[in-house]
């Protein structure tokens, strides 16, 4: 591993952080928000757009959490939004759902760590986790496991299944496991049977939707919420959902559940529930969003639906702060 050199000189492969940010904003923001902001700067200063999905992948966070950080920095006046309209489908953010409050997460002290060695349940989980990860757990990883075990109070057998479930889906990060545990906690999933039932309830339909979107992994909690909404709450047939997914890929060239959701919302408002009704509607009326010719569809949906951030303005504002 290359050592980090502390120097007053600015190297080419360096991300510059202003003292104004450190003194004014860093002291009161939580760690997750700071990580997102630093990644925004990292991408901006390398000439790339800091898209939420890119940041989520690099930081091993959910896009929902990344969007929360975006919103926080926007409220602080650091991140500038070029469109103030708020929509549930603006980015890869799941529909808002009611959930019980989360317990606060604390950092284990050395004394706490020693006490954990005498907790048979926790020691067993630590052993299982290290077996799956293939390496001794770091202190932050132990903190995450402790939060799931002590604060979220998930049973040992459920946590074992959680670890197995995440690793089988190529998610070996304790941070990701913690996010899934939080999702289960908020959905009041407290038994192994409940967790397995939810996993199995994804079923063939969910994986068919994922495949149509060009995704070959198990659905994330945010994606599951969208699919549950489409198939169960909005009562769309699988064929209609797949059609919206195909139009999403055609329009923007990448998978986007919020984009597909906007298409389905438009169809829902128009009372369209079948391919026949859709064909009739498009034949006799102005095409609905999501049913436009490809070039017009892409422009219209992008201009109206997606919440975008003025990253050029953000970069200029950041440069000004550096020079203060």
pLDDT in tens, 114-170: 888 899 999 999 999 999 989 999 999 999 999 999 999 999 999 999 998 888 767
Same domain assignment for residues 53 and 73 = yes
Q: What is the pTM of this model?
A: 0.40
Q: Are 66 and 52 in contact (CB under 8 A)?
A: yes
Same domain assignment for residues 221 and 299 = yes
Predicted confidence at residue 288, as pLDDT, reads: 46
Same domain assignment for residues 292 and 314 = no
Is residue 98 included in any domain, yes or no? no
Range of the domain at 61: 19-82+309-322
Residues 268-286, mean pLDDT to the nearest whole number: 86
Same domain assignment for residues 49 and 140 = no
Q: What span, in angstroms and rounded, lies between the C-alpha atoms of 173 and 166?
A: 8
Q: For 187, what's the count of Cα atoms within 13 Å in the CB-facing half-sphere?
A: 17
Chain centroid to CA 195: how far? Answer: 20
Domain end call among 155, 186, 217: 186
Is residue 261 included in any domain, yes or no? yes
Predicted confidence at residue 316, as pLDDT, reads: 56
Least confident of 134-148, 189-203, 212-226, 250-264: 189-203
Which CATH number covers residue 175?
A: 1.10.10
Q: What span, in angstroms and rounded, lies between the C-alpha atoms of 185 and 152?
A: 7
Nearest to 149 by CA among 114, 119, 186: 119
Nearest to 287 by CA among 272, 273, 274: 272
């Amino acid at each position: 591993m290359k050592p980090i050199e502390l120097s007053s000189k600015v190297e080419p492969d360096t991300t510059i952080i202003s003292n104004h940010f450190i003194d004014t904003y860093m002291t009161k923001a939580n760690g997750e928000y700071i990580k997102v902001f630093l990644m925004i700067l990292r991408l901006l200063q390398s000439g790339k757009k800091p898209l939420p999905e890119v940041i989520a992948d690099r930081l091993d966070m959910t896009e929902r959490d990344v969007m929360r950080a975006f919103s926080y920095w926007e409220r602080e006046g650091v991140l500038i939004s070029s469109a103030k309209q708020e929509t549930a489908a603006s980015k890869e953010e799941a529909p808002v759902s009611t959930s019980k409050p989360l317990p606060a997460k604390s950092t284990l002290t050395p004394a706490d760590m020693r006490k954990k060695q005498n907790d048979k349940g926790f020691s067993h989980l630590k052993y299982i986790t290290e077996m799956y990860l293939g390496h001794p757990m770091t202190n932050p990883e132990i903190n995450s496991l402790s939060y799931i075990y002590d604060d979220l109070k998930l049973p040992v057998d459920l946590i074992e299944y959680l670890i197995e479930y995440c690793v089988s889906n190529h998610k070996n990060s304790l941070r990701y496991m913690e996010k899934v545990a939080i999702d289960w906690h908020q959905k009041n999933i407290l038994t192994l049977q409940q967790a397995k039932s939810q996993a199995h309830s994804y079923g063939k339909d969910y994986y068919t939707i994922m495949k149509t979107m060009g995704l070959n992994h198990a659905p994330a909690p945010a994606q599951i919420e969208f699919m549950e909404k489409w198939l169960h709450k909005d009562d769309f047939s699988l064929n209609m959902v797949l059609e919206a997914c195909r139009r999403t890929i055609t329009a923007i060239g990448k998978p986007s559940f919020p984009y597909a959701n906007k298409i389905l919302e438009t169809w829902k408002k128009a009372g369209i529930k079948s391919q026949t009704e859709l064909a009739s509607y498009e034949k006799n009326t102005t095409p609905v969003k999501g049913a436009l010719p490809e070039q017009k569809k892409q422009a219209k949906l992008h201009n109206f639906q997606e919440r975008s951030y003025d990253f050029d303005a953000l970069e200029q504002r950041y440069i000004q702060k550096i020079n203060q």
